[in-house]
Structures are given as structure tokens and as C-alpha cells.
Amino acid sequence: MNWLNLSGIAVGLAMDALAVSIVAGLTIERVTPRHTFRIAFHFGLFQFLMPVLGWAAGRQLAGVLADYDHWIAFGLLALIGSKMLWEAGRALQLNGRSDPTRGWMLVTLSIATSIDALAVGVTMAMVDVSVWLPSVVIGIVAAVFSAVGITFGGRLGSRWSRWSQVAGGCILILIGVKVLLSDLYGW
């Protein structure tokens, strides 16, 4: 695998992490370096680990994973997006927002944004490509894009308050729909 192909794959995989990081920044009242580190670290780590796991499983389960990965990503993103919409409605009453860079929400977002990387790992196993260097590059690119995304979203979010959470929930659901449609229909 040459550097141009590897870079293209890494940037392509990081796009979901970038979009979700922007959404996370929109939902946090004031983005701190701690928020940025948590999301960049987790998204980068999961983007690194998923190709490795996909590569390891690829020799055994390639057909099964390829048939369902888009449904898993769609389900996770739709669930989190719906939860954000619900919390945005509750924010009128409670005047508070959750932190998507903590707890199970962060883990779920990390998995949802890295499902495609799992499929890349399965593909690497099928074509007998070493997984280690590509996984490191994919993880680093995802971490950098995530840090930039949450910072950008944080600058926008403080100006748009509750509506940014509504937009963020809708964006996550749309990303899930895009993943589903692109795998089902090649869009």
C-alpha cells in the first residue's frame, strides 16, 4: 500500500470522526483542552484498534461482518442522535446539556465512527496487507481531525445554544443514514 492510498483511506475514515467531533463541540457549553484530548484520544484509539480487530477477524468472519457493519453504525449513530434530540427538548426544562466526551456516550461514538475502519481491516486481511502502519496512520489522522472538529464546534456552539444540540442530533442521524445507504446502494 503506497502513501497516497494510505492517506486517502485515513482521511476518508476520519471524516465521520470529524463530523461527530464538530457535533460534540456544538453540544458542550465551553470546550476545554480536556474535552479535546478525550475525544481526540478515544476516536484516534478506536480508529487505530478497529482495523487491527478487523484484520484479525477478517480471516474468519469476513462475510458476516461485511453484511452487517453498516447496520451497526447506523443503529449506534441513530440512537445517539435521537438521545441528543430528546435531551435538547429536555434542556428547555432542565437548562443543562450532557457531555459527549464522557462515559458510555464517548465509547458509543468511538465505536460508531470507527465501524468503517473495521471493514478496512477485514479488507487488509483479504488482500494480505500488513495492518500495523496503516492502523497507526489512520489513528493519528482521526485524532487530529477530531481535535480540530471539537474545537471548531465549540466555537460555534456557544453562540447557538440549544439549537446546536438539535442540529447535532440530526447530523448524527443523517451520518448514520448515509453510512447505511452507501453500503446498501453504493452512494
Give Cβ neighbours of residue 185 (< 8 Å, ≥ 6 apart). Answer: none
Task: List the grid coordinates of 114.
Answer: 470507527
CA R_g for the chain: 16
C-beta of residue 2 within 8 angstroms of C-beta of residue 113: no
In a domain, 184, yes or no: no
Q: Buried b / exposed e across 78-104, counting CB within 10 Å, b at 16+?
A: bebbebbbebbeebeeeeebbebbeee
In a domain, 126, yes or no: yes
In a domain, 89, yes or no: no
Provide the domain count of the chain. 1
In a domain, 165, yes or no: no
Tens of each residue's pLDDT in the chain, 187 residues: 678 888 888 888 888 888 888 888 888 888 899 999 999 999 999 999 999 998 888 767 656 656 777 787 777 667 767 776 776 666 544 344 578 888 888 998 899 888 878 878 877 787 777 899 999 999 999 999 999 999 998 887 655 555 666 776 787 688 778 878 887 887 6
Domain that holds residue 9: 3-69+97-158
In a domain, 77, yes or no: no
In a domain, 182, yes or no: no
